[in-house]
Structure 1
Amino acid sequence: MTEKLYTRPDLTLTLDEDGVIQKVVTAESLAREPLDQWRGRRWGETIEPAIGNAVLKKIEDGRSRGDPSCFEVRQRFPSGLELPMEYTTFSFGKGGFIAIGRNLEAISELRARLQLAQEARERDYWKMREIETRYRTLFDATTEAVALVNVSDLKVIEANFRAARNLYLSPGEPFLPQLSDRDRRALAELFEKARAQGRAPGIVIQPTPSAGLWSLRASLMNAENGPVFICQLTPLREPDHSGDQKGVSFASLIERLPEGFVVVDRDGLVRAANGAFLDLVQVGAETAVTDRKLTRWLSSPGVDANVVMSLIRKHGDLRRFQTRIDGELGQSTLVEITAAGDDAEQPNYFGLLIRDVSHAARPGTAETSEDLSFEPLDDRTLEAIVRMSTEVIERKAIQQALDQCDGNRTAAARQLGLSRQSLHAKLKRYGLERK
């Protein structure tokens, strides 16, 4: 029951067992009302409309059981004034009962004001959503590298695609950690001016040893979680390697590869992709795949993107791994994946070379995602190849058993010849607990 906090009541009526008013006590707000006229009258005659059967039943039940009852009515006063009142009645047994009334007019007005405030808040919320959508569109569409930096610890809160790709900025990491001492002092002065004046003149820095010279501008913005710096970085000139034989444009080479190539981070989000990969997933622009999960297109049970990254973490790389990749328009292509991480111990990024092998499928052979074959031996040890293959097959068998048993783990364990505890351990190992 919702608790009601009462101060002094506005009206107290003492009634006999027939509902006839015997005594009236009022607060100062009703002191001018000639309420002595009510004595000897039935309480129901003073209420507009008269007390209904439901209210009478409440009063009667409260009188017979000794429990208080509570209800709202519209009280008519001798002067003609009508007020919404909330009454709580307490029974005295055969001696009658008492009714304590509270004026709800102020509460009704407060409710109306709260309703208006709620409507205004909802309008403001949708305006903020619209502004946020526009900000997000501009944030992602700008050709500049843009990052939001926390004022307190100078860590990146958010970075757009160009800042992540060209300057390796990512949320939660320090802002431009590879600066020289001179550039770091210039950056500190820039932030100090932005903190004091709201914005600061641009400076020229070299964000990384290989990034060349960039112009950096900073301004201060108040956000929901505190003030942040908006940092805009623009290269002073694009690198020109035309006269340098060693200046190889890797981005150009990867873009021209006839095989699909995609870079994903440790969360499975696509960070970069070439045109051949876009053709495989049937999208027209790189921005349509950036910051989206690779599992959207590589999602077959037992051979999805999470399995690929797990195998790379465990074995260092992955070679000629066959699966299917699904396009946005419904096309499913048999592919072969060769992949590696950027670090042998703890990779943060994974590069996947995805080759279309559907044309090389043998006649009469079913091209399904269940052909989880590896090229014989590669240069691995036999033990490593067997372990990799076993993990993929075991994961797929568990997923199929769960699908056949409609997610019933006990039935799936029985079908696989495992105990429920063993199945639970394998589900946790292969990341299938939430599926």
Structure 2
Amino acid sequence: MFKSPKESLGDLGALSAAKLIAAATDVALVVDGQGVILDVAFNKDELSLELDGQGRWLGAKLADVVTSDTQTKIRELLQEATERGSSAWRQVNHASPGGEDVPILYSAVEFGRDNRLLVMGRDLRQLAMMQRRLVNAQQSMERDYIKLRHAETRYRLLFQVSSEAVMIVDSSNETIIDANPAALALFEQSAPQMLNSSFPSHFNGASSQAISNLLADVRATGRDNRVRVHAANGPRDCDVSASLFRQENAALFLIRLSSYSTMPEAGGLKATAMLANFFESAADGLVITQYDGRIVKANLAFLEMAQLGNAEQSRGESLDRWLGRTGVDFSVALANLRQSGSIKLFTTVLRGEYGATAEVEVSAMSLTDSEDKPSFGFAIRNVEKRLSAASTSKRELPRSVAQLTELIGRVPLRDLVRETTDVIEKLSIEAALELTGDNRASAADMLGLSRQSLYVKLRRYGLAEHAPEGEGAND
């Protein structure tokens, strides 16, 4: 309140006071002792149209133009202003034709004429909109935090239970940040001994330099790489593969280690190396899966057919993500594989990650394993060139009984029946035309059809050259 209003404001007239009040507030009301609105002024035309577009406020009670849940606040506001001369600010809502309530912050003062009150309001729509945005942003952040926590939990669980030795190494100083139990067991060290130590220091002299070169190469190119080195703590060789990834503002290495004892005979190691080389470089797609069909290992040929950039994109994914025409296609093959232990020349489709498809033949067999449930090995061969080169006689059925049998479970029965019926009907019409010397009337009698029906079927099966123009249109 002003310290000396009479001196500073002087004789402020009613018109000047009205302009001042209208300019200082978004909505101003003059109400009498019973709360009836005697006059109203809006600072914004759009607010006036939204709240009092029909001029219904004049002569109405202020409590009647607010929503029912805020009428009590209006009564308290007017009572407080009458008793004390002014009231605290209270937020109330007005119904809007647009559907959303309009929040207004009101305060009232008594100005001493016939117990009249001046009610001043501030439009809170912008503030309410900002509050809603803030709440939505907070909820969105909370959902993201929950997803991150769940992802971290899954990562930690997978990291701890994995039988493969895995480490996280800092790219800048090559120190070990994290190591799973399999990695600790491989180097026969405890977590306090292993963490924050230099990763290359856990290998002998020449191998230590090879590790440093490997990390430098991956850091410079960003491409995965691997090297065979000798561990410093025993007579064993290790395959070390490194991948670079970023977390926040730091670059880290994901290190995977596979240990091989150096004690077996050289012939066995050579055979193992040759087998591993064949798996990676084979022309056909080779995939090893768990019992449930999730991929453990895939070679380069499969990655090319599936349009994948690296093996990490396929590891842990179900093979039916890429293999099979329908949802039951791969399930049928997997069920047969579990039951009989092998499948041969199963014809299906392989779908690439970016939409490419290819006809393939799949052979698979069960692999012995120490686990109760075996793993499976799949050989996937692209047969599109073979299929396109194979030409069938014009009068031959496009599918043999064996081929139709293979489609069961992958194509609905009604589609199989419709395809077979259409092929037989077309071949019968062609045979009848050939036997009658292309006499359409005789061919129709032979087939037990009307001429109009015969002309319709001729056009349906692409034999329109046998049907004259204009005939059969009304059939």
Normalising to structure 2: TM-score of the pair?
A: 0.40
Structure with more of its chain in helix, by fraction: 2
Identify which of structures 1 and 2 has the higher relative contact order when contacts are C-alpha pairs closer than 8 Å and 6+ apart: 1
Which structure's CA Rg is the greater one? Answer: 2
